Amino acid sequence: MATQAAESIPVKAPPAAAPQLSAHPYIGILGVFLGAGVATMNSRLVGIGLPDLRGANGFGFDEASWIPTVLDMALMFSGVFCVFLNVRFGPRRILLPCAAVFTIVSLLLPFSPNLSVMLVLQAIAGLSSGTFYSLTLTFALTALPKRLVIWGIAAYAADIVFSSNIASALQGWYAEHLSWHWIFWNAATFTPLMFICVYFGIPRRGLPSEPGPSWRGFAYFSLGLALLVGAFDQGERLYWMYSGVIVAMLVAGAFLLVVTCIRRSRLPNPLTNLAFLSTRNIVILATSILVFRFVLLVGYVLIPGFLGNIQGYRALQTGQTLAWVALPQFVVVWLVALAIVHTNSRLVMAVGFTLIASASWIFSHVDSSWAGTSFQITELALAAGIACAYVGMVGSIVLEAFEAGALKSAKNIATFSGLMHFTRIFGGTAGAAVLGHFISEREKFHSNLVGLHVQTGNWLTTERLQMFTSGLLPQSTGLSESQARGVALLSEQVRAQAYTMAIADGFVLMAWVVLGFLLVMLLLKPGKISFKDLRKMQ
């Protein structure tokens, strides 16, 4: 979208520097879609495959936890920054060098001699791949005829949801049949294809003759956000304000954001127009991204956490439980796009969020007897809801961009696009931090409640321990060992019950968050443009 504004606004440049039309725009679209899928898959593989990576390299739990954190911080820095760079330099000048760097770094990462080198390479990987996702839809909307915009959005949604859903299964397969190196080599395999498509599909573009804006404010802002992302990502592990590292990151991040605001007020930047973001619809639609990123944690955190901790599923088993919905979801996004053409994108988005809330409420009845198959039927409803919500949400944002005048100036489209990408990246990390803290606190709460009924001397406790002791006695060296093993087994049952109840509370939280947002959606002002109208535009 930022590209669309930049290329639709005349610039004072020599005739020879005028933008050149590409003879293969659909190859360029394929390239940026590949980039978005690779970036999404890479981030998921690093998070899911962290235990394998840690074990293969002998890293400790605490130190290895910084590997995905550094990646997320780098993604945050470049994901918003590149939106504004794109207005001046165009996607081709950004994506080609970033794709080359990301390929090389992905090849080298498995050979890191120590953790410090791996963290540096992860930072470079995040800075380069962070540009892929942020520039995907902007170029696709520019290259596609307006009558095909809704189908571009559907393809974009299919690309992202498919990559996200199969990541667990793919990582499990790599671990079982190849090696942990493919956590990184997966990206090194597909990014060159993206490079080729971008090279032949995205046109060269001349630079504007005006002097470029100061990038210092953007750097302050992006660095501040990156530090806050790191603090949120590590906060639960380091006990938040009890950690000097977390306090330092929060204070430094907040300071940089304040400095950015002061600098913005004293030295206005030609690429930003914050007043443009004050409209009600833009704020509500940006909030929809936060809510959507939060509810995605149902499949990223809650279900995998339950299956791994309670049922002892390995990565491959968890992946197989979740990945099968990728195919029906891939089909549903196209049906959703067709429905939007004949109805309304906001209505479809509301239906999608309603399905997500309903599925979350059903999942909240989980108990320790549930296995992977117990989730399958409701997973279909959840997958359909995610497809509806995603396509409807992106469609509504695109229509709002047209209606609000985002395309009338480069500063409007850059500011609009920057806000949406900020909420996408920052919202995902913040949501994961909130959910992680919520699950941790609820597990402690339920553990205390269950523990009140598991006291020494209580006849139920005594009876359960006697049953465990007698059952374990044939496999023990004596009565003492059998009793100790019985106590450990009872403690494990208490922990499993508390964790299951905490996961159930997490599903309830998801449902209430979605219901709250559905009420907020009632405040949206009626739209004046539909995709039927957009299809008629030349």
Is residue 195 within 8 A of residue 131, CB to CB? The reply is: no
Q: Distance between CA atoms of 138 and 502, rounded to whole angstroms?
A: 40
- Tell me, what CATH number does 435's domain have? 1.20.1250.20
Q: Distance between CA atoms of 511 and 494, rounded to whole angstroms?
A: 26
Q: Distance between CA atoms of 64 and 83, rounded to whole angstroms?
A: 31
Domain membership flag for residue 104: yes
The per-residue b/e assignment along 212-248, b for 16 or more CB within 10 angstroms, e otherwise, is: ebeeebbebbbbbbbbbbbbbbbbbebebeebeebee
285/305 same-domain check: yes
226/292 same-domain check: no
201/225 same-domain check: no
Q: Distance between CA atoms of 397 and 419, rounded to whole angstroms?
A: 11
DSSP secondary structure code for residue 312 in this structure: -
254/295 same-domain check: no
Q: Distance between CA atoms of 251 and 254, rounded to whole angstroms?
A: 5
Specify the 3-state DSSP secondary structure of 11.
Answer: coil
**386's tokens:** 């995610």
238/308 same-domain check: no
Domain membership flag for residue 3: no
Q: Distance between CA atoms of 445 and 448, rounded to whole angstroms?
A: 5
State which residues of the chain have pLDDT below 70: 1-23, 207-214, 268-271, 273, 276, 406-411, 451-491, 533-538
DSSP of 125-172? HHHHHHHHHHHHHHHHHHHS-GGGHHHHHHHHHHHHHHHHHHHHHHHH
Domain membership flag for residue 452: yes
The per-residue pLDDT for 497 is 83
377/486 same-domain check: no
Domain membership flag for residue 9: no
Domain membership flag for residue 11: no
Q: Distance between CA atoms of 97 and 78, rounded to whole angstroms?
A: 14
Nearest to 217 by CA among 81, 416, 83: 81
Q: Distance between CA atoms of 291 and 34, rounded to whole angstroms?
A: 26
Range of the domain at 319: 274-439+506-538
Domain boundary among 211, 227, 255: 211
401/255 same-domain check: no
206/222 same-domain check: no
Domain membership flag for residue 480: yes
**336's tokens:** 């959703």
What single-letter amino acid sits at 465?
Answer: L
Q: Distance between CA atoms of 155 and 167, rounded to whole angstroms?
A: 18
CA distances from 379 to 154, 308, 384, 442, 519 (A): 20, 17, 8, 24, 24
Domain membership flag for residue 56: yes
Domain membership flag for residue 219: yes
66/28 same-domain check: yes
Distant-in-sequence, close-in-space partners of 497: CB < 8 Å, separation ≥ 6: 368, 446, 450
176/314 same-domain check: no
152/92 same-domain check: yes
Is residue 133 within 8 A of residue 79, CB to CB? The reply is: yes
Is residue 340 within 8 A of residue 279, CB to CB? The reply is: no
pLDDT (tens digit, 9 = 90+) per residue, 42-54? 888 888 888 888 8
Q: Distance between CA atoms of 246 and 242, rounded to whole angstroms?
A: 8
41/129 same-domain check: yes
pLDDT (tens digit, 9 = 90+) per residue, 254-281? 999 888 888 777 776 666 767 767 788 8
What is the number of other CB atoms lying within 10 angstroms of the CB of residue 200? 13
Q: How many domains does the chain have?
A: 4
